[in-house]
Amino acid sequence: MDAPVSDDSRLTALHHWASTLFPDAIFSVVPLAGDASFRRYFRVNSGDQTFVAMDAPPQLENCQPFVAIAKTFEQSTVRFPRIFSIDLQQGFLLLSDFGDRQLLPVLNDETADVLYRTAIDVLCDMQQCRDVLNYKLPHFDDDLFWREFEIFRTWYVKKHMNYTLSVDDENQLKNTYQCLIDSATAQPVVFVHRDYHSRNIMLCDDSALGILDFQDAVWGPITYDLISLLRDCYIVWTDHQVQQWAAYFFQKNKNQLRDVDFLTFMKWFDWMALQRHLKCLGIFSRLHYRDHKHGYLKEMPRVLNYVMSVCDRYPELSGLTKLLRGDL
């Protein structure tokens, strides 16, 4: 067994745990890129086999949703990581390895149409889930919507923009946000991954798509994962191209959307995207100021452009436009 590469106590514990899984084998543990959470990931190499070890400190991360959702999809056509071993007390999981190719860097004008249509096919299959085994999947309810509003208000408006809102301004902002909630809750309810974008989709060696980072899933609006994918915080496509992909999704879901015309669907789509992107502005600000993860700051102009483009499209969102442009 390779010696631990750090005096990090959790990494030492992970090495010890891995040694119980591979008692007679030589193996190595190599750090992988992290994410916006407190979880860390390592590649475990043993002979010609590779796995991914998740380190999720129990006092900071709850692994139960991840485990329940992964097990629910084991027999599905949707490729979630297979779990080979679990130690919930320590917060360690041994998972299948999807490799290193995120969808994001392989997207270009030549590959995008096929890859996005495939990702939409996977999304439609994922939305067929009707129950999660041994876990009560939460609903995207008013409490969750308003918690996300507070992230935007606290970390983006107050901290990043350094705004102090008047009572009238705050009421107007809340009234606008309530309109976004009303639009979301008018939609059919499906299984929602809640972070379905190009950095959480892996292109596996057999060209299938592997899905990561699904532990925050909820029952929620049918457009949510679609807008996460097509109005991705990390890459931009033309409105025309996005509408074509949205139309592909709409046609594949005609049964669930039989009472909805495409114009209504696209308004749902736009307003759902606006709600998510307001939250993302808050999350990226919090990651920068509180968690010292400064790389997310460079993504914020793209997200703000998404927000402004939707606000400019709908006159009823003019109050939010004024706030974000500093006209209050």
Quick one: fold of 104-325? Aminoglycoside 3'-phosphotransferase; Chain: A, domain 2 (3.90.1200)
Structure tokens at 211: 């899905």
Distance CA 40, CA 251 (A): 39
Q: Determine the 3-state secondary structure of 93 from DSSP.
A: strand
Distance CA 309, CA 321 (A): 10
Distance CA 126, CA 130 (A): 10
DSSP 31: E
8 Å CB contact between 216 and 68: no
Distance CA 161, CA 169 (A): 15
Which strands form 27-31's sheet, in the order they lie side by side? 27-31, 40-46, 49-55, 92-96, 83-87
8 Å CB contact between 1 and 26: yes
pLDDT of residue 26: 87
Nearest to 241 by CA among 120, 116, 87: 116
pLDDT in tens, the chain (328 residues): 343 344 489 999 999 999 999 888 888 999 987 665 788 999 999 988 999 999 999 999 999 999 999 999 999 999 999 999 999 999 999 999 999 999 999 999 999 999 999 999 999 999 999 999 999 999 999 999 999 999 999 999 999 999 999 999 999 999 999 999 999 999 999 999 999 999 999 999 999 999 999 999 999 999 999 999 999 999 999 999 999 999 999 999 999 999 999 999 999 999 999 999 999 999 999 999 999 999 999 999 999 999 999 999 999 999 899 889 876 4
pLDDT of residue 35: 62
Nearest to 297 by CA among 194, 160, 183: 160
- Burial zone of 196 (CB within 10 Å; 0-12 exposed, 13-18 middle, 19+ buried): buried
Distance CA 91, CA 216 (A): 17
Quick one: fold of 9-96? Phosphorylase Kinase; domain 1 (3.30.200)
What Rg do the C-alpha atoms of the chain give, in angstroms?
A: 21
pLDDT of residue 4: 38
Structure tokens at 320: 């939010």
Q: Is 293 left (phi over 0), alpha (psi -120 to 50) or beta?
A: beta
Q: Determine the 3-state secondary structure of 270 from DSSP.
A: helix
pLDDT of residue 168: 92
Angle at 140 between CA 301 and CA 155, to 5 degrees: 35
Q: Determine the 3-state secondary structure of 194 from DSSP.
A: coil
Distance CA 69, CA 89 (A): 19
pLDDT of residue 39: 87
pLDDT of residue 248: 98
In the chain, what are the domain boundaries?
Answer: 9-96, 104-325
